Amino acid sequence: MGASDLAAFAALFAEESRAAMLLALLDGRAWTAGELARHARVAPSTATEHLGKLVAGGVLEEERQGRHRYVRLAGPGIAQLVEELASLAGPGADEPPRSLAAASAGRAMARGRTCYDHLAGRLGTAVTDALTARGLLRQDTGFALTDGGLEWFAGLGIPLVPKGRRPLARGCLDWTERRPHLAGLAGAALCAHALDSGWCVRIGTARAVKVTPAGERALRRELGIEAEALR
């Protein structure tokens, strides 16, 4: 890749409407152009033009079901890039929320959310810190599950099935906490388990998640995380 290629790729992220769409797609789901147009507050024709550029640039992939066209992030590597760019951009303290609903949504996202397919926010970093404190995860030489960590996942019945070149554990810089949370296969598997087992539930249509009472009990039992740290 030359300098012109890098500049062209970076330019795909350097437009506010496209950035809004990419942040929405961090929930890991496939969205329609119409849904993303409403989210980014642009005309459908404008959204279609932006999405065409993102697909052509390899940032998004599309699939069609009948007359409907869906797009999603091209993979966990793109999701990591978007999340880390958001972290480097800062929390946006100079732009106060435009409404009470926006402020409430912002607090919910900071408390707990999904970052593509793993847990983020205070919830994600609390889980990561607890895994590390209990010797289940190492961060001193990069993210890696210990033997005890592998046994912990197996004991909960959480499968860690290899998928291509995706690492078992990887640190992902959290854009609200400014510290890493667990990503990779282990992060994705733990997030899926938390949602499937009812430890967490999604809130509304955003990426925000809330820990349930059952989840508070499970996280305290399994990782020693007190409920107050999750609220």
Top pLDDT among 55 and 204 is at: 55
- Model confidence pLDDT, tens digit, residues 46-104: 999 999 999 999 999 998 877 778 999 998 889 888 888 887 776 544 454 454 444 46
Residues in the chain: 231
- Model confidence pLDDT, tens digit, residues 108-132: 788 899 988 899 999 999 999 999 9
Tell me which architecture the domain covering 3-74 has in CATH: Orthogonal Bundle (1.10)
pTM for this structure? 0.72
Q: What is the rounded end-to-end Cα distance, in angstroms, of the chain?
A: 45
The pLDDT score that the predictor gives to residue 189 is: 96
Q: What are the residue ranges of CATH 1.10.10.10 in the chain?
A: 3-74
Q: What mean pLDDT, rounded, does the chain reach?
A: 87
- Please give the Cα distance from 188 to 185 (Å, whole number): 5
The pLDDT score that the predictor gives to residue 104 is: 60
- Model confidence pLDDT, tens digit, residues 130-180: 999 999 999 988 899 999 999 999 999 998 988 778 899 999 888 788 889
The pLDDT score that the predictor gives to residue 206 is: 65
Report residue 188: phi and psi, to 5°: -65, -45
CA distances from 21 to 24, 65, 115, 220 (A): 5, 21, 14, 36
Q: H or E stretch including 64?
A: strand 60-65
Mean local confidence (pLDDT), 28-34? 87
Q: What percent of the chain has pLDDT over 90?
A: 55
